Amino acid sequence: MNTYSTPAFRSFKVFIGELTAVAAGIHVGIQETISHVSKLDQSDPWEFAAQRHGIRVSGLRSEKVSSGAIRLNIVSLYSGFDLFISDIRGQFYAIHGKSWTQNDGDTPFQALLRNTPSGKQAHENRLGPGRILTMDYYRLARNAIAHPSNEAVAIAEQFYQSNSQQLIQTASDYGMKSTPSEVAGLSFHDIKYMARVSLDLAVAIDKDFDPGDVVLSRLIPEKFAKLPKSEARRHNAKKGWLSEKFGINSDRAERIISMTHKLSG
């Protein structure tokens, strides 16, 4: 099995786990708080409740608190995915030995396709057209939230309407019946679904940009600081480096390291 995972993926996986757990806690906390605040005999119950915690706010509505938290989590989640893509682009030259090619107006997935070392068909099969479409929709939803304008909202809504059948089918394949929601009605289920899709895409992207054993063998440092010149110690250091940098398991690491001897011989 050709294991391969970059530090960018592993960091993103940790981020996804923390975000979804915190998002769940916030959602539950808000629902519990709403039931309490709604019982306050005040003209502005949220203002009254906020004063207890030294916070000044007025005119806040319960539905705005709930939907706002969901929408901001959608923005945060996509930002994390976008950073993962940026990390893939940033390490591309060092690993693949050529510059990243990107045209003005390229979406993230168009840029990935333009630079994949795997070929167009293999790339699309690995990532999945439905997952790409889903993440493109959430990207547009993010834009409508983070950069609110009539145009941004209209673009996201039009994309949803034009692709609703495939978006719904992809969600069904994930066992989700109420997602993705339209921009105006994003729910906590969208956070859960988006997290799953983005993590699956990150796994697929990592594998898609696996440079192969020969390239990895050439990336192994020739020397490791503070290590004795024992061949066994150097061998273990190489395996450790492959594991830390690229998530390579022991069997594949042995195969890659054996290539360094052939290449230098």
- Domain-located, residue 204: yes
Buried b / exposed e along 14-24 (16+ C-beta atoms within 10 A): ebbeebbeebe
What tokens appear for 33 in the block? 């708080």
Give Cβ neighbours of residue 145 (< 8 Å, ≥ 6 apart): 71, 72, 74, 75, 183
pTM: 0.90
Rounded to an integer, what distance in angstroms lies between the CA atom of residue 121 and that of residue 184? 35
Say yes or no: 129 and 145 in one domain: yes
- Is residue 201 located within the same domain as residue 226? no
Instruction: Give me the pLDDT at residue 234, please.
Output: 85
Same-domain check for residues 164 and 246: no
- 260 and 175 belong to one structural domain: no
User: Do residue 41 and residue 93 come from a single domain?
Assistant: yes
2 falls within a domain:
no
- Closest among 224, 217, 227, 219 to 257, alpha carbons compared: 217
Q: Please give the span between the terminal C-alpha atoms of the chain, in angstroms, as a whole number.
A: 27
Are residues 105 and 218 located together in one domain of the fold?
Answer: no
* 248 and 133 co-located in one domain: no
Report the amino acid identity of residue 257. I
Q: What is the mean pLDDT of each run of 10 residues along the chain (265 residues)?
A: 85 96 92 84 84 86 86 96 95 93 93 93 95 97 94 97 96 94 94 97 95 92 74 87 92 89 51
The confidence score (pLDDT) of residue 13 equals 96
Q: 77 is in which domain, residue-wise?
A: 7-208
Model pLDDT, residue 57: 83
- Is 224 in the same domain as 124? no
